[in-house]
């Protein structure tokens, strides 16, 4: 990195392994940018980080988990949420692996899937009494 560039640091933790990616941006562009542009750029950085994690590990992150990725410019401290990988059982995503927040007080996850019975909706998975993440039902977009 040179003096004309800053690095946006994206971090998250999955299965006790920290993932960290840096995305360069011209210092002048960042300094002159409006707050809305900066916010949207950080969201783009989170999406790039989530895509890289999926390429490296095969683990997909939901939109909510992607939004939870720490994306911060230099000098800004932010802590990533620690996630764990689970395998989904039943429904359209049977056998897929996803990352979930083990400390979520209301565990469950809605995931976009080609096999969802509602276009634009989500397939809902949650842990059963044994901790196995099973498909419960599909949710129409309007009820989310």
Contact yes or no for 121/144 (Cβ under 8 A): yes
The closest alpha carbon to 12, from 82, 72, 75, belongs to 82
Domain boundary among 13, 46, 72: 72
Q: Quick one: 54 and 101 in the same domain?
A: no
Q: Quick one: 101 and 66 in the same domain?
A: no
Q: Quick one: 66 and 102 in the same domain?
A: no
Domain that holds residue 53: 5-72
Give residue-wise pLDDT tens across range 96-144.
888 888 878 888 888 888 888 888 888 999 999 898 999 999 998 877 6
Q: Does the pLDDT of residue 78 top 70, yes or no?
A: no
Q: Quick one: 13 and 64 in the same domain?
A: yes
Q: Quick one: 42 and 101 in the same domain?
A: no
Residue 47 belongs to a domain: yes
pTM: 0.60
Backbone angles phi, psi at 87, to 5 degrees: -100, 135
Give residue-wise pLDDT tens across range 82-93.
788 899 999 999
């Amino acid at each position: 990195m040179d003096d004309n560039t800053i690095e946006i640091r994206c971090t998250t933790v999955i299965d006790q392994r920290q993932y960290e990616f840096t995305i360069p941006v011209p210092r002048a562009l960042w300094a002159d940018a409006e707050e809305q542009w900066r916010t949207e750029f950080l969201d783009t950085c989170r999406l790039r980080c989530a895509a890289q994690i999926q390429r490296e590990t095969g683990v997909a992150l939901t939109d909510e988990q992607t939004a939870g990725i720490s994306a911060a410019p230099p000098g800004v401290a932010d802590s990533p949420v620690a996630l764990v990988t689970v395998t989904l059982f039943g429904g359209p995503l049977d056998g897929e692996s996803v990352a979930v927040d083990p400390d979520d007080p209301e565990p469950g996850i809605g995931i976009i899937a080609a096999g969802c019975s509602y276009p634009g909706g989500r397939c809902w998975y949650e842990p059963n009494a044994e901790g196995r993440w099973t498909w419960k039902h599909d949710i129409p977009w309007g009820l989310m």
